[in-house]
């Protein structure tokens, strides 16, 4: 939270020195901007080489200083604490480039300024690209039209040796080898379908490298999106409203429904409920008329016969391209990639970059085999998909299956000679376009990026460690103080826990006793009532047992003494004392005997037994 963050900053301000804080801020600024600088410096290296054309000279003079200033401020900001100052130069450059890009003049170039060498070509022996006839390039028109799409392709016009102009689209940042091979495939398919009169209209594609090439301009065709856009503009003029982009129309209907469903993260497509998407689709289909294409074909027809021929050719060409697109896994069939010749009704497809089921791996997977939306179906005529369209689809699929060996042979080239877009070691983007997208350049760039990521990660770790150092030290001091207290508290808790355990055991015993009392109250003959008598008997038995035990103990002690005397007697009998005593008895000493008898005589007289003494003397 914000209060916690403020406290944290105040703690850092008090703990760290100004020099340390400045160093950390500068290091963090450098680390965060390092990946951005890596990309910008690559682009700057491309655009800052020695100019070879007037257009490059103009670009360097107009934007070179701003680019260098922006990069320098990003590398070495005057005050890293104020990153906005460093970004302001880059923002000014971006606004300047954006203003140039939005001007009408940005969509028109002059060949004499872009490439004086090409502008100066006259009556060359260079073959006209994509033409089989003996035809050479006589000149190149000076005007170049720039199309307002993502890669800004350029529309070039070559003057042929036959005096006719030939228009091409020069595309960069794309590998046109795929389009070239698809055109070859369409040519083979047309050869296989020649007997039935069906054909897929194609055009010439001439790759000039791994990241650029020429595409023959298809004349007289209209994108389906143009028909939809015209209808939108007509509706906007009637309703006096602004023309919304298709994405804006889609989200204007989707967002309220997602809000009603309480979707937590509307930006996460995986959480969009399927019923909601179906409802949005139905609403959009109801609002969009299905007659846009069919009415255009009708309006461009001279008479009914012409309309029938246009509808027939439209149905067959749509069926042919649908089946061929299904075979090669063609995707990305949006309204700008499907063109129609409104005078003849022939359908032309462009942009074959999404092939071989690649559309299924997109963020929004494409699950349909080909495009057959309501406007396309309505233009098929009365029979719809069950007439010419269905028969043509069946025939084309049958011919393709019959000639599958030829088709597989042609498509095997994609397995053994993969395209640059499918090669993991290729470099994409402007760098790949300028340097050719080769593997060596790609490996060098990848290694540079790996090293960059390693440096950025290390720098961020160092900065984070420096920032957390004082917190860790404070935490250590707290632990040193609080750990003994915690240990004492744990010991006290263990003591109390032991007391609690004993109290619980005592309580359990009391509960058992209480249950016994309750049981005795319920039964008059309960054994508890005889407890006093049984207790007296128990006490008497206990006393008797104690006395018996004492008597037994006395007897045992007496026996122990007797055993000890027996042992002493046995020791005397088996020892040398017995023999000595026998010897003494065998040789009696008369003096000792007389002394003994005198003592006995004196004892008896003192005892009043003088008579017994006389009797003994007489008997002797």
Reported as a single tens digit per residue, the pLDDT across 338-392 is 999 999 999 999 888 888 888 888 888 888 999 999 999 999 988 889 999 999 9
| pLDDT at residue 394, as a whole number | 95
79 pLDDT more than 90? no
The DSSP call for residue 303 is S
Mean pLDDT, the chain, rounded, equals 83
- pLDDT at residue 325 greater than cutoff 60: yes
pLDDT for residue 434: 57
Q: Are 495 and 63 in contact (CB under 8 A)?
A: no
Q: Which residues touch 324 (CB under 8 Å, ≥6 apart)?
A: 185, 186, 189, 200, 330, 396, 400
Give the SS3 label for residue 584. helix
Confidence category of residue 170, pLDDT binned at 50, 70, 90: very high
Supply the pLDDT for residue 557: 93
Q: How far is CA 415 from CA 245, 332, 407, 408, 437, in A?
A: 40, 22, 13, 11, 20
Of the two residues 527 and 129, the one the predictor is more confident about is 129
pLDDT at 11: 54
- Say how far apart CA 240 and CA 231 lie, in whole Å: 14
pLDDT for residue 293:
92
User: What is the reported pLDDT for 6?
Assistant: 52
If one compares 28 and 372, the residue with the highest pLDDT of the two is 372
- The predicted pLDDT at position 620 comes to 63
What is the rounded CA–CA span in Å between residue 304 and residue 122?
48
pLDDT of residue 10: 56
Q: What pLDDT is recorded for position 294?
A: 93
Residue 313 and residue 377: Cα distance in Å, rounded?
Answer: 14
Instruction: State the pTM of this model.
Output: 0.61
Query: For 42-51, which contacts have Cβ atoms below 8 Å and span 24 or more sequence positions?
Result: 42/430, 42/431, 43/430, 44/68, 44/71, 46/430, 46/431, 46/434
Domains of the chain, first to last: 1-102 (no CATH), 223-288 (no CATH), 291-418 (1.10.1070.11), 588-620 (no CATH)
Q: Could you give the percent of the chain with pLDDT greater than 90?
A: 31
Contact 268, 258 (CB under 8 A): no
Give the rounded distance of the alpha carbon of 65 from its chain centre: 41
Instruction: Return the structure tokens found at 148.
Output: 């307002």
508 vs 485: CA distance, rounded Å? 34
Q: Which residues pair with 170 in a beta bridge?
A: 154, 214
Position 77 pLDDT exceeds 90: no
* pLDDT for position 35: 75
Residue 401: the pLDDT is: 93
Residue 70 pLDDT > 70: yes
**Average pLDDT, stretch 219-234?**
90
Nearest CA to 155 among 202, 112, 208, 218? 218
Q: Give the highest mean pLDDT range of 281-295, 407-421, 606-620.
A: 281-295
pLDDT beyond 80 at 311: yes
Measure the CA–CA gap between 410 and 191, rounded to whole angstroms.
13
Q: What is the mean predicted confidence (pLDDT) over 287-292?
A: 90
Q: In what order do the strands lie in the sheet with 222-223?
A: 222-223, 338-340, 347-349
């Amino acid at each position: 939270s914000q209060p916690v963050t403020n406290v944290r900053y105040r703690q850092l301000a008090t703990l760290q020195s100004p020099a340390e804080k400045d160093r950390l801020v500068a290091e963090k600024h450098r680390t965060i901007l390092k990946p951005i600088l890596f990309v910008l410096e690559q682009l700057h290296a491309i655009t800052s080489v020695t100019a070879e054309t007037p257009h490059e000279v103009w670009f360097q003079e107009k934007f070179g200083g701003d680019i260098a200033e922006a990069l320098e401020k990003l590398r070495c900001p005057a005050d890293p604490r104020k990153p906005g100052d460093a970004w302001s130069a880059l923002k000014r450059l971006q606004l300047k480039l954006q203003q140039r890009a939005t001007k009408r003049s940005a969509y028109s170039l002059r060949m004499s300024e872009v490439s004086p060498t090409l502008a100066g070509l006259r009556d060359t022996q260079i073959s006209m690209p994509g033409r089989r006839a003996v035809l050479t390039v006589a000149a190149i028109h000076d005007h170049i039209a720039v199309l307002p799409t993502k890669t800004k392709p350029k529309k070039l016009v070559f003057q042929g040796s036959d005096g006719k102009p030939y228009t091409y689209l020069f595309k960069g940042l794309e590998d046109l080898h795929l389009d070239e091979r698809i055109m070859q495939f369409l040519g083979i398919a047309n050869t296989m379908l020649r007997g039935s009169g069906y054909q897929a209209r194609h055009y010439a594609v001439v790759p000039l490298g791994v990241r650029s090439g020429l595409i023959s301009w298809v004349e007289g065709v209209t994108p389906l999106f143009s028909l939809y856009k015209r209808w939108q503009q007509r509706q906007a003029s009637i309703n006096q409203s602004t023309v919304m982009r298709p994405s804006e129309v889609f989200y204007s209907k989707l967002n309220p429904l997602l809000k009603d469903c309480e979707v937590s993260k509307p930006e996460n497509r995986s959480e969009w409920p399927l019923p909601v998407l179906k409802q949005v689709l139905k609403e959009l289909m109801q609002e969009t008329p299905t007659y846009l294409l069919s009415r255009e074909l009708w309006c461009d027809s001279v008479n009914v016969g012409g309309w029938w021929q246009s509808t027939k050719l439209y149905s067959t060409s749509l069926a042919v391209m649908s089946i061929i697109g299904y075979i090669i896994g063609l995707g990305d069939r949006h309204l700008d990639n499907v063109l129609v010749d409104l005078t003849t009704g022939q359908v032309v497809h462009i942009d074959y970059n999404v092939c071989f089921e690649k559309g299924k791996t997109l963020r929004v997977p494409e699950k349909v085999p080909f495009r057959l939306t309501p406007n396309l179906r309505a233009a098929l005529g009365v029979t719809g998909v069950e007439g010419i369209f269905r028969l043509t689809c069946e025939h084309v699929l049958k011919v393709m299956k019959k000639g599958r060996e030829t088709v597989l042979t042609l498509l095997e080239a994609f397995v053994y000679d993969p395209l640059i877009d499918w090669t993991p070691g290729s470099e994409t983007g402007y760098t790949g376009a300028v340097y050719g997208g080769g593997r060596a350049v790609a490996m060098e760039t990848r290694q540079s990026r790996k090293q960059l990521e390693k440096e950025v990660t290390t720098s961020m770790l160092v900065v984070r460690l420096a920032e957390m150092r004082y917190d860790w030290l404070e935490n250590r001091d707290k632990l040193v103080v609080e750990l003994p207290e915690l240990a004492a508290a744990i010991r006290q808790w263990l003591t109390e826990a032991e007391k609690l355990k004993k109290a619980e055991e005592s309580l359990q015993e009391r509960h058992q006793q209480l249950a016994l009392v309750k049981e005795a109250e319920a039964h008059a003959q309960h054994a508890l009532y005889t407890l006093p008598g049984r207790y007296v008997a128990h006490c008497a038995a206990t006393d008797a047992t104690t006395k018996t035990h004492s008597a037994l103990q006395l007897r045992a002690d007496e026996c122990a003494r007797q055993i000890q005397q027996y042992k002493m007697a046995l020791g005397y009998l088996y020892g040398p004392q017995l023999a000595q005593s026998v010897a003494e008895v065998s040789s009696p000493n008369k003096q000792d005997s007389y002394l003994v008898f005198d003592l006995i005589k004196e004892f008896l007289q003192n005892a009043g037994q003088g008579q017994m003494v006389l009797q003994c003397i007489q008997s002797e």
